[in-house]
A = this chain, B = another copy of it.
């Protein structure tokens, strides 16, 4: 195995605006062997997530920024190809912080990957997507634990056609809420209402956002699950019910901007006695089993629809994949196939 090589994408520059290929450096190195307590993982699918863009900056954030010259941080799934670590056998699937690289080698707990208990019939990408931390887990805890919707309340979710938003809305419907999505373009909006079953969807690219939100939520917004920030957040702030809850899960509209104006309708937090709360899924590790079981149950009985876009092109495609994610040029969950061995 030591005669083989593997490739990694290192962070070469902190991006300004949209990510460029030249912000990364593609390097090849000999494929090592795992030492005691370590595993060697062949990475199969890389998840593309808005948080990748956060990790590339050195702004204060919820994890240490990726250092210049380090392997770019990324979530995904892989398969164990060599193991000197108890509890991990060759052929096991692992999910977590696999990195923007073809192989990951190290102690599982230091890498930040966990062994996947595979469920028959469930594709590997589901373990970071519909059942995992970049999809279902985030929707589940963010909506239910932070947003605390009650049956009959109006729930609004932005990026409603995306990996997290699509599930937030469906979980809110399961809990008896009226659900309004916000998405970009007629195709995505039709998907949100016709396939996901939301009660309505506002097209933020159409113009008249404030009026459209108001018209869709005549009794005000009780829970807003925010993935985007910016103009959508402001339109929501102008239409809050008393004691509304706003889950700040992401602020994707600002991630490609070096300087961002704050929400101009912020004073409505005071006027409507709203609660605005930041939410990061990694805080919920101790309860992943609870959410995983519930999500799998809903999914298997057809209550959660989910679509994904899997790109090909190998590791060198990752920067372009991230650009497409942040432009919204994808359908549902976006991932990148890293290996021909991926199913």
Measured between alpha carbons, how far is A259 from B266 in the docked complex, in Å?
11
Q: Is A262 an interface residue (CB 8 A)?
A: yes
Known: A267-B251, A268-B60, A273-B279. A261 touches B261 (CB 8 A): yes
- Does A30 reach chain B (CB closer than 8 Å)? no
CB atoms of A270 and B278 under 8 A apart: yes
The total of chain A residues at the interface (CB under 8 A) is: 34
Contacts of A275 in B (CB 8 A): 275-278
* Minimal beta-carbon separation of A116 from chain B (angstroms): 27
| A175 contacts the other chain (CB 8 A) | no
Q: Are A273 and B263 in contact (CB under 8 A)?
A: no
Query: Are B270 and A262 within 8 A (Cβ)?
Result: no
Instruction: Decide if A283 is an interface residue (CB 8 Å cutoff).
Output: yes
Q: Judge whether B276 and A254 touch: CB under 8 Å.
A: no
On whether the beta carbons of A274 and B278 are closer than 8 Å, the reply is yes
Q: How many copies does the complex hold?
A: 2
Q: Given A60-B238, A238-B60, are A269 and B262 neighbors across the interface (CB < 8 Å)? A: no
Instruction: Annotate A242-268 by CB proximity to B: 1 below 8 A, 0 otherwise.
Output: 000000111100100001111111111
- B269 and A248 form a contact (CB under 8 A): yes
Cα distance A265–B251 in the bound complex, in angstroms: 12
Nearest-Cβ distance from residue A63 to partner chain B, whole angstroms: 9
> What distance in Å separates the Cβ of A212 from its nearest Cβ neighbour in chain B?
18
Q: Are B268 and A262 in contact (CB under 8 A)?
A: no
* Chain B, residue nearest A274 (CB): B278
A221 CB, nearest partner CB in chain B, Å: 13
Q: Give the complex CA separation of A62 and B251 in angstroms.
A: 27
Interface membership of A148, Cβ < 8 A: no
A281 to chain B, nearest CB (A): 11
Contact B266 A62 (CB under 8 A): no
Cα A276 to Cα B267 in complex, Å, equals 12
- Measured between beta carbons, the chain B residues less than 8 angstroms from A303 are none
Are A271 and B238 closer than 8 Å at their CB atoms?
Answer: no
CB distance from A240 to the nearest CB of B (A): 9
Contact between A277 and B278 (Cβ–Cβ < 8 Å)?
no
A273 touches B283 (CB 8 A): yes
> Does A67 sit within 8 A of B, measured CB to CB?
no
Q: Does A174 belong to the interface (CB within 8 Å)? A: no
CB proximity of A258 to chain B, nearest CB, Å: 12
Tell me the complex Cα distance, A107–B318, Å: 70
| Cβ of A168 to closest chain B Cβ, rounded Å | 16
- For chain A, residues 206 to 265, give those with C-beta under 8 angstroms from any C-beta of chain B: 229, 238, 248-251, 254, 259-265
13 pairs, A vs B, C-beta closer than 8 Å: A59-B267, A60-B271, A62-B272, A229-B267, A260-B266, A261-B262, A261-B264, A262-B263, A263-B266, A268-B278, A270-B279, A273-B283, A275-B277
Residues of A bordering B, CB below 8 Å? 59-62, 229, 238, 248-251, 254, 259-280, 283
Given contacts A60-B271, A251-B266, A261-B264, 16 further A-B contacts (CB under 8 A): A62-B270, A62-B271, A62-B272, A229-B267, A249-B270, A251-B267, A262-B262, A262-B263, A266-B266, A269-B276, A270-B280, A272-B278, A273-B280, A274-B278, A275-B276, A275-B277
The 6 closest A-B pairs by CB, nearest first: A262-B262, A270-B278, A262-B263, A276-B276, A262-B266, A269-B278
